[in-house]
Chain A
Amino acid sequence: MSKEPVAVVGVGQTKHVAARRDVSIAGLVREAARRALDDAELSWADIEAVVIGKAPDFFEGVMMPELYLADALGAVGKPMMRVHTAGSVGGSTALVAASLVAARVHGTVLTLAFEKQSESNAMWGLSLPIPFQQPLLAGAGGFFAPHVRAYMRRSGAPDTVGSLVAYKNRRNALKNPYAHLHEHDITLEKVQASPMLWDPIRYSETCPSSDGAVAMVLTDRAGAARAPRPAAWMHGGAMRSEPTLFAGKDSVSPRAGRDCAADVYRQAGITDPRREIDAVEMYVPFSWYEPMWLENLGFAAEGEGWKLTESGVTELDGDLPVDMSGGVLSTNPIGASGMIRFAEAALQVRGLAGEHQVEGARRVLGHAYGGGSQFFSMWLVGAEPPAS
């Protein structure tokens, strides 16, 4: 049985901010869902199932919040599923929803991811004080900084590359009305002068803590034919996981990431990602992950990713724009961040990305990762339906 093609016909997100004190969690998710439905010109009744993701429950202090959110998302009487795969969850959630369409279980599905980080403190939510783990990791930066140092040592990258990425992404965010950080007075010097948090990661090279939600309407071929605006078509999607800690793990370029990308490219018929993919929405919570993932995703040879960044290839007007929306560095509602990457990729190939649109973007990769660089989810979307 061939799979049903999957189309994105609606995208909605909230204006991401540090604290949305004006809405409940339910109000936040409903805002994004409503905007996705409006984009698709559909009503709640057109939605057959809801797939929701966030990570982890401790960030808001609500156990399995999908139960309480059923009403707000119009899910009463419908199937509702809750995905949780750490930081990659936004991408995984979209892929589970896409599978429902691809398997012809449902025709039109709403998928949504959110985080309301102002309800808690992510720094401590991400610190895992149980026996036999490193004490005082103090959040994700403490975990990832050694891997960045390993990358710098291995590749010989100059220590200026991280600030270039942050400076680029923050400028891109100025063109995205939904981005959390709008630093109008950003300069490269300001990034470089910001305090060192976890050597070599500076304050301005880290992501913010955001409140926000993102939603997409996924549908089948018939649904796409009825859609009022161009659809983004899924050409490939995959998840891969590997253990957190083991002797053979390459924390700089995890094999799960490479395998996941290879699976997506195989599905999409991509043999030369550097040439055949027009832009990437990449999960870069700390700026150094741009060059690292450029290599992991096959856009550059090992040790060469930083050269693409340094030469301006990944700028908004470069040959391979990365994080046109401003990326996770500018907006990080953790559970939603992966799906924002997927949704921004869809907006690009639909030609609806506004000021941060890449001219002529036909094939765009959305990428997410989570845990200790152990969970990966990606999709490649195109402006044209996949060849059947």
Chain B
Amino acid sequence: MTREEAPGARDVAVVAFAQTDHRRTSEELSEVEMLMPVLHEVMASTGLRTADIGFTCSGSSDYLAGRAFSFTLALDGVGAWPPISESHVEMDGAWALYEAWVKLRTGDADTALVYSYGKSSPGSVRDVLTRQLDPYYLAPLWPDSVALAALQAQALIDAGATDEPALAAVGARSRADAAGNPHAQLRGAVPQGEYLVRPLRTGDCPPIGDGAAAVVLAAGERARDLCERPAWIRGIDHRIEAHGIGVRDLTDSPSTRIAAERAGALERPVDTAELHAPFSSQEVVLRRALGLDETVRVNPSGGALAANPIMAAGLVRIGEAAARIHRGESDRALAHATSGPCLQQNLVAVLEGDPR
């Protein structure tokens, strides 16, 4: 649906991307203080000012901040005066980008600022994430995010889809690639470590950290004005699956496959894929669902195994894929974001640069 071009549909592109250095803790900074440099950077790279932006959309979670309406303070940082056209999703920033993309497609705006942020350091993120499970039957048992991912990993091993050495290789490759990413939290030779929850070792799991990201979108000629080589969003779609772990085949990700089909990702090969796979085993699931082979450069940024700022990590994937197109390192890239336990909800975007 989302890639079938309506007559005269507007092309929308990612024209700028910025992110923080992702860190284990940023306790000396408020969320707003963490976010502000990123907003300034992304705006400066386009030369736009707040008043030039047609629509603003953000993603974050009150539960990470530990207080209701936490996003309202970030808005003050954006500088919403005179008043701006603005919205917020209680989701990863990738979905804020989706909302902004829709807004630009309606023609109501030509440019959009999208940002998201999350600080996991103030609490125990494994415990916090249990609160997003079914509140009557599942959450009272406090199954944490690593334990649920371990169930998924074991299901994959039992199905013969992977084994522990293969998972270790995913971790090692991700951290090695992250050596070239100054923003990554875990870089270079990182030991695979002890079991955290069998069969997952610490090296199969994402670092816990704080971070923020921001993207500027623009439609049509406006994109070319703002960026030498815009990353055109050729298709974008997202799908959700059942919540109950017990009713899903954890070795598969049908929602990713549907989203990829609808986004047009499967029509022609991509050269790059930025996958939001916080656990090494989830990269295995996503590669299978997307049919990615060894010719595709997967997570050259290091991916979520190198930095996983919750609520921003999905937007970072889109930003990293777009930045490779901006730099001429990719012509057609896939970006993926996930939400919920064991890849419950997935978003796929296809980004392309103009032919060279």
Contact = CB atoms under 8 A, between A and B. Distances in A.
A259 B244 CA distance: 44
Q: Which of A59, A68, A240 has the most CB of B within 10 A?
A: A68
A103 B62 contact: no
Interface string A92-126: 10011001101111100000000000000000011
A239 interface: yes
B355 interface: no
B9 to A, nearest CB: 6
Contacts of A240: 83-86
Contacts of B69: 55-56, 86, 128, 371
Nearest to A125: B68
A367 B72 CA distance: 20
Contacts of A58: 62-63, 67-68
Contacts of B9: 1, 104
B133 A242 contact: no
B90 A84 contact: yes
A96 B131 contact: no
A293 to B, nearest CB: 16
Interface in A1-43: 1-3, 24-25
Interface string B213-252: 0000000000000000000000001111111100000000
A62 B90 CA distance: 12
B135 A68 contact: yes
Interface residues on A, range: 35 or more
Given A84-B88, A99-B102, A104-B6, A57 B63 contact: yes
Nearest to A131: B30
A49 to B, nearest CB: 9
B10 interface: yes
Nearest to A93: B87
B237 A79 contact: yes
Interface in A242-262: 242-246, 248, 254-256, 259-260
Interface string B82-115: 1111111111000100110011011110000000
Nearest to A70: B240
Contact of A241 (B75, B244, B345): B75
A242 B132 contact: no
Contacts of B73: 244
Contacts of B6: 1, 104
B207 interface: no
Interface in B108-157: 108, 128-129, 131-136, 139
A361 B86 CA distance: 30
A135 interface: no
Nearest to B73: A244
B279 interface: no
Contacts of B71: 84
A256 B83 contact: yes
Contacts of A243: 75-76, 79-81
A270 interface: no
B72 A244 contact: yes
Given A68-B243, A76-B242, A239-B86, A246 B102 contact: no
B91 A77 contact: no
Contact of B339 (A64, A246, A374): A64
A263 B55 CA distance: 14
B37 interface: no
A68 B241 CA distance: 10
A368 to B, nearest CB: 13
A82 interface: yes
Given A1-B7, A81-B91, A63 B1 contact: no
A259 B83 contact: yes
Interface string A59-78: 11111111111110001111
A90 B340 CA distance: 23
Given A64-B90, A255-B82, A103 B102 contact: yes
Interface residues on B, range: 35 or more
Given A25-B135, A56-B68, A67-B345, A246 B89 contact: no
A381 interface: no
B76 A128 contact: no
B243 A67 contact: yes
A99 B103 contact: yes
Given A3-B106, A67-B345, A81 B243 contact: no
Contact of B80 (A3, A130, A241, A260): A241
Contact of B244 (A48, A56, A64, A71): A71
Contacts of A241: 56, 75, 80, 83-86
A77 B61 contact: no
A112 B307 CA distance: 34
B222 to A, nearest CB: 15
Contact of A56 (B8, B62, B85, B238): B62
A282 interface: no
A185 B73 CA distance: 43
Nearest to A242: B83
A105 B1 contact: yes
Nearest to A258: B83
Contacts of B62: 56-58, 63, 84
A347 interface: no
B87 A96 contact: yes
Contacts of B83: 240-242, 254-256, 259-260
Interface of B: 1-2, 6-10, 56, 61-63, 67-69, 71-73, 75-76, 79-91, 95, 98-99, 102-103, 105-108, 128-129, 131-136, 139, 237-244, 254-255, 258, 339-341, 344-345
16 contacts: A67-B345, A70-B241, A70-B344, A76-B242, A79-B238, A83-B88, A84-B88, A92-B87, A96-B99, A99-B106, A100-B102, A128-B69, A239-B86, A240-B84, A244-B75, A259-B82
Given A55-B68, A64-B340, A244-B76, 4 more contacts: A63-B63, A67-B243, A80-B240, A102-B106
